[in-house]
Structure 1
């Protein structure tokens, strides 16, 4: 197992920066989709380029999954010891972090759907009924259906499932020599294949949803593997070289996907590699004396942007639908900019109003279990 102390503060700050940037890129993607849907005229070639470059929020959610697995494994290694692993403490830490703001944002989504019920833009309009709401309440929406403008929250189902799965594996194999990160990765890959095969035989949609859940679980476990084995991985010369060009690799994937030259699953596999290479590059080039380790305006901004990423991600769908349903635009660009800026600014404000108090409350809760 790798030493957590090998992860320097500059790596943490760079990850915080990426979390914030990825959240903003998801907002930009969804804002572009709604801006073009809410406009009656045909899509121009310029919009088409923007749609393929910025209009795929899924790209950046993949990045979130890799970062999430990486950070969760580092957190586990900090609280873990050689004699025991507390599944209770682990799950309380995870759920108190993710659920409070999730349910606050769900209430916002309910209010927005009520406000726009008579003049709603035709986007994310599935599941605006009791069954969709129940799915959201039990956080199973990605296995069933999402509720209207809270559709971007589908990934929260995945996160909680991965938290639970990883916690169970850590509990079962804690005293064994079985490497949990590799076991989890293989489990998700083989499980996804099994459910895909079952789906082809039955055409039962739930099986396909579980297939996607486990397939993306392998993405999440890529982050876990990087956190656990990064010292050994970076001993491989080829990987060190490749990781230096992760940004160029990402641009190549975007360009190839724009021209539809890549199968979606190959694109997804490419993104796993790109974002894993990104983390490896951050670690390989980490330096305790670097600018990103100093307490400066930039490093503080990175930290604040990282904290704001979760509220930005959760509330942007509601804000975009609220604006698109009540304001008429003569230009997709104006709509896109307004949707994006409003979501990011409100998410940044929610960081101080909601996210930080929730994080303080979580710390107080966890002290009771130490």
Structure 2
């Protein structure tokens, strides 16, 4: 298991709190407007921080791929044992807290009375969320929405798709190009962009959640590529050149098509490229300890519990909104919630959950 990079834990914590703040700000916009009426600059800063929500989620995708590359650097995904080990680690990490978040969302829905009034609490929608088929609220022709209006749950369906699709995608490239494991990404990353654009076009004809997920796969794979660069599996010069061209291509394509999805990919590629140069300059210099030098203790601690915070904060905000709590009560409750949820995630991370250790590929 790779040593944790404290800077990335801290950045994960910052991203998680940006998402939380965005939802506090949106759910209480009138209270912010009234309370900060005479403090225009602070209100502008609050709006700016709230608007970073989308980039924060994209950063989670990139960081997820990066973390997978480091955590699985000694796993051979071309073997059955390697895939089974990979899936066990992913399911052990994702599923227990995800199920707990769904239960927590349902309980808050019962307390607030929303479970009887909103279709997102329906049994059918619950099944869709259990099988990770939910898409963001607002997408037309969506099969399922996030359970209980717990908006952040949409990204978990993307994450699970990335986790399950990656070993298949990886194996196809090994079989097709007869490549060594460390050489796969040289071809896989550019091809993923082409597949993403094809999925985007096909999704205009028929809506299938997997096409929506597939359109964002290069974002996650870009993070995995960064992890390969960091761990010396891919050379920097070759590893960063193709993605840079990819970002420029997406940028000019978006000017022509004005597509939300392509715009998202372009933003994500920007998030990918900048850390790429940053990681190279810090990690491969003989004069510095690189990323391991940095440690912001407060946000690092939040980063340790960022997954659970991300999953469960929105139902809490729904309850506080239903009770018409003041902003001070909001922030007080969030502080207690964050402290408790960090401890919960650390506790659950120590449980092996051996029920997930199965022969998924016999």
State TM-score, norm by structure 1. Answer: 0.73
- 1:55 and 2:48 aligned: no
The answer for unaligned runs of 5 or more in structure 1 is 243-261, 330-334
For 1:44-123, list aligned pairs within 5 A. 47=43, 50-80=46-76, 86-117=82-113
- Contact 2:77–2:167 at 8 Å: present in 1 too? no
Aligned equivalent of 2:200:
196
**Aligned counterpart in structure 2 of residue 32 of structure 1, from 19, 25, 32:** 25
CA distance in 2, matches of 1:31, 1:65: 22
Provide the aligned C-alpha RMSD in A: 4.0
- Contact 1:22–1:61 at 8 Å: present in 2 too? yes
Aligned equivalent of 2:138:
none
Higher relative contact order (CA 8 A, sep 6+): 1
- Contact 1:17–1:302 at 8 Å: present in 2 too? yes
- 1:177 and 2:179 aligned: yes
CA distance in 2, matches of 1:28, 1:159: 22
Aligned equivalent of 1:321:
318
CA distance in 1, matches of 2:358, 2:123: 37
Aligned equivalent of 2:154:
154
SS at match of 1:127: helix
CA distance in 1, matches of 2:121, 2:223: 34
- Contact 2:106–2:115 at 8 Å: present in 1 too? no
Aligned equivalent of 1:361:
351
State TM-score, norm by structure 2. Answer: 0.74
1:207-258 superposed Cα distances (whole Å, 9 cap, x missing partner): 3x4443122211001111122245555448x98xx9xxxxxxxxxxxxxxxx
Compared CA separation, residues 282 and 108, structure 1 to 2 (3 A): same
Q: CA deviation at 1:85?
A: 5.3
**Aligned counterpart in structure 1 of residue 127 of structure 2, from 128, 134, 138:** 134
SS at match of 2:150: helix
Q: CA deviation at 1:84?
A: 6.6
Aligned equivalent of 1:272:
269
The answer for unaligned runs of 5 or more in structure 2 is 136-142, 245-257
